[in-house]
């Protein structure tokens, strides 16, 4: 008993310190808020989810190599509708005149003109993230502003997507706040509780968003969705504390009530947050590092929410205490006794039906069609770029590029590979150094002797021979110098670049016409080299007419690999593109799906095992919520839809970690109430008591999810929102209308799997009259009691009387006397019974000590 008392005093001491130092905490929070507000706009946001692929994935390796060794110019597919071919052809010259536009491809083929639609393939002078490309894109948009124009490009798309998504999320946040206010108006007991809750949450959200700056770079998905998820996941912590305060404030002044309420709320809220945190932590183990990115930000969000509730909210409550007293109103959340009665009537029917439904849902979810290309994910609202992309693809088909990196230098193998690529039906264009024409007779990689090079360049043959000898010497090939240079053949591109280097260094002198010709040719060749030849690899680029994901795409990738394997080691060939990216995402999903499911369930079950001290109950609860997850993701299968893989991974972790709390609320109340009344009455009272908490938290999370799904123009964010809203709603339904029946039917399992070592053994009795109690009593004594009592009592009692086996091995004495008669199974204690007045005095002294502590 003494150990338990010290534990209670510890939390009361902590709460007292926090409340007494509330002004200091207010100052600290104000400083932190100012810092975070200044840092919010400095957070670096990444739009490219391929950057979160595992470092050893083919796509990630290929993208890194291309960034390091190749120049990739920004490009755009621009469709102008309702235009004649002549007018479209006239636009080419205007487009080429735009500063920053490098090249415009357009002709009268079906690839560029279809019906009344013209398609221009525009290449810019810089990379997609260079300012020159962004400015040129804007200039092109202004030039074509009078036309019916659709522009599909990645140039400047990050800024546009970020701006659009921020606007969407600001609207979502406003609407979410409206939902929260409406829900709180229904569920709270005083109107002025609402600003207390909103201020607490607002500060927590600001702290989390501002400290994202310390992480360096976060994904656009995490940046946009974390605030709303934090609001939905963590606002119930503030609600729990506020409800505790309202209960204590009925009999105490505001400051004392806050101290007592906080001392009780800290362990309760901390315990409640563990399951949510466990779901977020499980995401951090994903191979696809977007899970780590989102997981760590959401863990941080929950921690800041806890800090705000524990250290800021007491001060806010003190400020609003009088307002709360003056704005009391009736709670409008109704009792739902019908759910408890339904549970009693169907306790033998619903659990078996649920098991069958569980198996069916698991099978359907396992057969769900998953999408890995964000452009394939449907969204309620589509961005301007996605609309343009779909319009162009509808008219001119899919344009899917695949880059193949092969070892540099073997031009003959490159030429053979490119020719085989051209034979594939689904290949539209093939580009590589080995097929870039320099005139009607040669391509860049053809090897030619000095005389042919002299004729190609109009240079004197003697000068060319000297150049060839110099080139041979530079390459360490001395044989041709002595055996005859005229038979020595060098690839055209290598000889041109060597010639230009010699010209730049002054070893070769050319007239003005030749100088201009050489400079123009060098610029063309150098540009091709930058794009297609790196330090270690050559790049071959294919444009194919296959989707970016699916069996057709992956079969095409196999064909390409098999062709390359004829001329190169398979391990030396790297494919990069949307197809390979989606294939890598599919491969990582298979592993991450197992990691998320196993770790989340394991973490939650361990927490529940220590919470309920039963091996059976955690299994029942986890199966209930896992069932809601399977049902959630079986819906797309039943409706013929698909699920974006990111939505599945993230929502399954959040749904398990967050909505398991609803099951815990039901179960914990049931475990207490069933010791005080028959189980059929306990389940009715359990649902009535738990419904306000589930209603408040569940409605907010469901509403936030559906708002995100319907408003966000980013397909990734929208897919997460829809799945989260639907999943939370399913969890609520199962917790209220299936879990109670499982608890009733599985009660024997819960009892048989209880950890009975060193646990209390309760004896239930109904007694009345005058009695002397020395031990633990839990039940009703003209009201409810759960306390250590040492004294006498006169009245009626319906309670559980517990005896323990302590560490020392001696059983704690428990004595009950009723009108002088000892209960048959208890030992009489004459000394204690002989002095009831002394026992009464001891109890009064104990009560005075407890009041002094408060």
What is the C-alpha separation between 90 and 577, in angstroms, rounded? 33
pLDDT of 781 reads 53
Within this chain, do residues 37 and 84 fall inside the same structural domain, yes or no? no
Where does the pLDDT of residue 807 fall: very low under 50, low under 70, confident under 90, or very high at 90 and above?
A: very low
pLDDT of 329 reads 80
Within this chain, do residues 6 and 44 fall inside the same structural domain, yes or no? yes
Within this chain, do residues 44 and 79 fall inside the same structural domain, yes or no? no
Note whether 209 and 312 are within 8 A (CB). no
Adjacency order of strands within the sheet including 537-544? 427-431, 537-544, 400-407, 574-577
**What pLDDT digit, counting tens, does each position of 651-706 carry?**
888 888 778 888 888 888 888 888 888 888 999 999 998 888 888 888 888 888 89
Query: Residue 31 contacts by C-beta under 8 Å, 6 or more apart in sequence?
Result: none
**What pLDDT digit, counting tens, does each position of 177-229 carry?**
888 888 888 888 888 988 998 899 889 999 999 999 888 888 888 888 888 78
Average pLDDT, the chain: 82
Note whether 624 and 663 are within 8 A (CB). yes
Where does the pLDDT of residue 746 fall: very low under 50, low under 70, confident under 90, or very high at 90 and above?
A: confident
In a domain, 710, yes or no: no
In a domain, 524, yes or no: no
Question: DSSP state, 374?
Answer: G
Counting residues of the chain whose pLDDT is more than 90, the rounded percentage is: 28
Q: What is the mean pLDDT of residues 118-143?
A: 91
What is the C-alpha separation between 164 and 160, in angstroms, rounded? 6
Going by DSSP bridges, is the β-strand pair 642-644/574-577 parallel, antiparallel, or unpaired?
unpaired
What DSSP line would sit under 22-91, residue for residue?
HHHHHHHHHHHHHHHHHHGGG-EEE--GGGGS-TTSHHHHHHHHHHHH-----EEEEEEES--HHHHHHH
In a domain, 422, yes or no: no
Where does the pLDDT of residue 790 fall: very low under 50, low under 70, confident under 90, or very high at 90 and above?
A: low
Domain end call among 153, 175, 207: 153
Within this chain, do residues 34 and 84 fall inside the same structural domain, yes or no? no
Q: Does the pTM of the predicted model rise above 0.75? A: no
| Count of CB atoms situated within 10 Å of the CB of 786 | 12
pLDDT of 815 reads 43
Within this chain, do residues 207 and 290 fall inside the same structural domain, yes or no? yes
Residue 441 in this model has a pLDDT that exceeds 90: no
Q: Give the least confident one: 137-141, 692-696, 779-783.
A: 779-783
**What pLDDT digit, counting tens, does each position of 384-422 carry?**
888 888 899 888 887 888 999 999 988 899 999 999 999
Q: What is the mean pLDDT of residues 611-626?
A: 85
Residue 828 in this model has a pLDDT that exceeds 50: no
What is the C-alpha separation between 817 and 702, in angstroms, rounded? 54
Within this chain, do residues 277 and 312 fall inside the same structural domain, yes or no? yes
Q: Give the least confident one: 269-273, 745-749, 759-763, 832-836.
A: 832-836
What DSSP line would sit under 391-411, residue for residue?
HHHHHH---EEEEEEEETT-H
Domain end call among 131, 153, 175: 153
| Count of CB atoms situated within 10 Å of the CB of 785 | 14
Within this chain, do residues 224 and 302 fall inside the same structural domain, yes or no? yes
CATH number for the domain harbouring residue 241: 1.20.1640.10
- Beta strand spans in 781-816 (E): 784-803
Within this chain, do residues 128 and 20 fall inside the same structural domain, yes or no? no
pLDDT of 418 reads 92
Sign, CA torsion 317/318/322/323:
negative
Residue 806 in this model has a pLDDT that exceeds 60: no
| Count of CB atoms situated within 10 Å of the CB of 167 | 12
Q: How many domains does the chain have?
A: 3
In a domain, 711, yes or no: no
pLDDT of 841 reads 44
- Helix or strand holding residue 538 (H, E): strand 537-544
In a domain, 482, yes or no: no
With helix as H, strand as E and coil as C, how does 686-727 read? HHHHHHHHHHHHHHHHHHHHHHHHHHCCCHHHHHHHHHHHHH
pLDDT of 796 reads 54
Of 732, 705, 579, the C-alpha closest to 651 is: 705
Within this chain, do residues 202 and 319 fall inside the same structural domain, yes or no? yes
In a domain, 25, yes or no: yes
pLDDT of 593 reads 85
Q: Give the least confident one: 87-96, 117-126, 390-399.
A: 390-399
Domain end call among 294, 325, 356: 325
Note whether 471 and 495 are within 8 A (CB). yes
Q: Which domain holds residue 770?
A: 760-853
Note whether 301 and 337 are within 8 A (CB). no
Counting residues of the chain whose pLDDT is more than 70, the rounded percentage is: 87
Residue 779 in this model has a pLDDT that exceeds 70: no
Where does the pLDDT of residue 7 fall: very low under 50, low under 70, confident under 90, or very high at 90 and above?
A: very low
Within this chain, do residues 320 and 192 fall inside the same structural domain, yes or no? yes
Where does the pLDDT of residue 234 fall: very low under 50, low under 70, confident under 90, or very high at 90 and above?
A: confident
Within this chain, do residues 196 and 307 fall inside the same structural domain, yes or no? yes
Top mean-pLDDT range of 41-45, 77-81, 366-370, 613-617 = 77-81
What is the C-alpha separation between 454 and 445, in angstroms, rounded? 16
Q: What is the mean pLDDT of residues 9-32?
A: 91
Note whether 683 and 744 are within 8 A (CB). yes
pLDDT of 504 reads 77
Q: Measured in whole angstroms, how far is the alpha carbon of residue 812 from the centre of its chain?
A: 52
Which residues sit opposite 544 in a β-bridge?
400, 427
Residue 794 in this model has a pLDDT that exceeds 60: no
- Residue with the bigger pLDDT between 162 and 780: it is 162
Question: DSSP state, 309?
Answer: I
In a domain, 473, yes or no: no
In a domain, 274, yes or no: yes
pLDDT of 767 reads 53
Total count of residues recorded for the chain? 854
Residue 474 in this model has a pLDDT that exceeds 50: yes
CATH number for the domain harbouring residue 111: 3.30.70.250
Q: Phi first, then psi: what are they for 723, rounded to 5°? A: -65, -35
Within this chain, do residues 770 and 827 fall inside the same structural domain, yes or no? yes
CA angle 198, 204, 208 (to 5 degrees): 140
pLDDT of 847 reads 45
């Amino acid at each position: 008993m003494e150990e338990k008392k010290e534990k209670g005093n510890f939390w009361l001491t902590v709460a007292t310190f926090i409340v007494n130092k509330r002004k200091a905490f207010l100052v600290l929070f104000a400083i932190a808020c100012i810092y975070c507000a200044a840092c919010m706009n400095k957070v670096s946001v990444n739009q490219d989810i391929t950057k979160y692929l595992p470092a050893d994935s083919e796509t990630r390796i290929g993208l890194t190599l291309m960034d390091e060794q190749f120049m990739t110019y920004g490009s755009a597919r621009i469709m102008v509708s309702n235009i004649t071919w002549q007018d479209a052809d006239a636009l080419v010259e205007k487009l080429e005149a735009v500063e920053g536009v490098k090249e415009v491809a357009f002709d009268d083929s079906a690839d560029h003109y279809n019906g009344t639609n013209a398609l221009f393939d525009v290449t810019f002078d810089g990379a997609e993230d260079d300012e020159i490309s962004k400015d040129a894109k804007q200039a092109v948009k202004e030039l074509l502003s009078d036309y019916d124009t659709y522009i599909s490009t990645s140039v400047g798309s990050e800024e546009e997507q970020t701006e659009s998504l921020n606007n969407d999320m600001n609207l979502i946040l406003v609407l979410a706040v409206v939902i929260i206010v409406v829900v709180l108006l229904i569920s709270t007991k005083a109107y002025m509780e609402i600003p207390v809750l909103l201020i607490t949450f607002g500060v927590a959200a600001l702290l989390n968003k501002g400290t994202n700056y310390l992480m360096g770079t976060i994904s656009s998905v995490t940046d946009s969705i974390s605030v709303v998820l934090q609001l939905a996941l963590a606002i119930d912590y503030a609600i729990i504390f506020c409800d505790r305060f309202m209960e204590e404030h009925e009999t105490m002044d505001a400051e004392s009530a806050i101290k007592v309420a906080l001392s009780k709320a800290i362990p309760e809220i901390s315990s409640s947050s563990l399951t949510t945190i466990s779901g977020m932590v499980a995401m951090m183990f994903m191979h696809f590092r977007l899970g780590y990115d989102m997981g760590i930000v959401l863990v941080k969000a929950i921690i800041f929410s806890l800090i705000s509730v524990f250290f800021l909210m007491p001060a806010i409550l003190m400020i609003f205490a009088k307002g709360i007293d003056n704005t009391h109103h009736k709670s409008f959340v109704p009792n739902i006794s019908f759910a408890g009665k339904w549970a009693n009537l169907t306790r033998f029917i619903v659990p078996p039906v649920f098991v069958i439904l569980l198996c069916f849902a698991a099978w359907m979810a396992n057969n769900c069609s998953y999408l890995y290309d964000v452009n394939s994910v449907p969204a309620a609202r589509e961005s301007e770029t996605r609309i343009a992309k779909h319009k162009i693809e509808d008219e001119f088909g899919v344009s899917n590029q695949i880059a193949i990196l092969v070892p540099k230098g073997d031009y003959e193998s490159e030429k053979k590979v490119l020719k085989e690529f051209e034979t594939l039906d689904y290949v539209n264009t093939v580009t590589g150094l080995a097929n870039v024409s320099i005139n009607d007779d040669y391509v860049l990689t053809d090897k030619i002797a000095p005389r042919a090079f002299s004729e190609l360049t109009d240079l004197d043959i003697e000068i060319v021979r000297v150049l060839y000898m110099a080139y041979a010497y530079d390459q360490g090939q001395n044989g041709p110098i002595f055996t005859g240079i005229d038979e020595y053949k060098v690839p055209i591109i290598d000889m041109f670049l060597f010639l230009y280097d010699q010209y730049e260094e002054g070893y070769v002198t050319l007239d003005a016409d030749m100088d201009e010709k050489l400079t123009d040719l060098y610029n063309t060749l150098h540009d091709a080299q930058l794009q297609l030849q790196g330090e270690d690899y050559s790049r071959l680029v294919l444009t194919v007419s296959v989707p970016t994901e699916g069996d057709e795409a992956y079969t095409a990738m196999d064909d390409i690999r098999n062709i390359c394997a004829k001329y190169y080691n398979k391990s030396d060939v790297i494919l990069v593109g949307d197809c390979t990216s989606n294939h890598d995402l599919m491969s990582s999903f298979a592993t991450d799906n197992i990691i998320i499911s196993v770790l989340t369930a394991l973490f939650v079950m361990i927490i529940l095992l220590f919470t309920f001290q039963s091996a059976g109950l955690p299994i029942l609860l986890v199966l209930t919520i896992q069932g809601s997850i399977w049902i959630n993701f079986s819906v797309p299968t039943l409706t013929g839809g698909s699920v974006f893989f990111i939505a599945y991974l993230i929502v399954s972790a959040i749904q398990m970690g967050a909505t398991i709390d609803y099951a815990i609320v039901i179960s914990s109340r049931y475990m207490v109430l069933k010791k005080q009344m028959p189980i059929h009455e306990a389940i009715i009272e359990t649902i009535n008591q738990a419904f306000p908490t589930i209603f408040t938290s569940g409605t907010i999370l469901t509403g936030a999810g559906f708002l995100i799904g319907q408003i966000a123009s980013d397909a990734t964010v929208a897919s997460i929102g829809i799945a989260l809203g639907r999943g939370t709603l399913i969890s609520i339904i199962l917790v209220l209308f299936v879990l109670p029946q499982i608890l009733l039917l599985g009660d024997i399992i819960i009892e048989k799997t209880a950890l009975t070592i060193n646990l209390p053994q309760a004896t239930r009795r109904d007694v009345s009259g005058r009695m002397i109690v020395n031990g633990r009593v839990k039940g009703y004594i003209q009201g409810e009691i759960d306390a250590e009592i040492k004294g006498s009592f006169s009245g009626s009692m319906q309670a559980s009387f517990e005896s323990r086996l302590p560490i020392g091995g001696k059983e704690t004495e428990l004595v009950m006397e009723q009108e002088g008669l000892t209960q048959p199974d208890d030992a009489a204690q004459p000394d204690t019974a002989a002095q009831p007045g002394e026992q009464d005095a001891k109890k009064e002294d104990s009560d005075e000590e407890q009041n002094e502590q408060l």
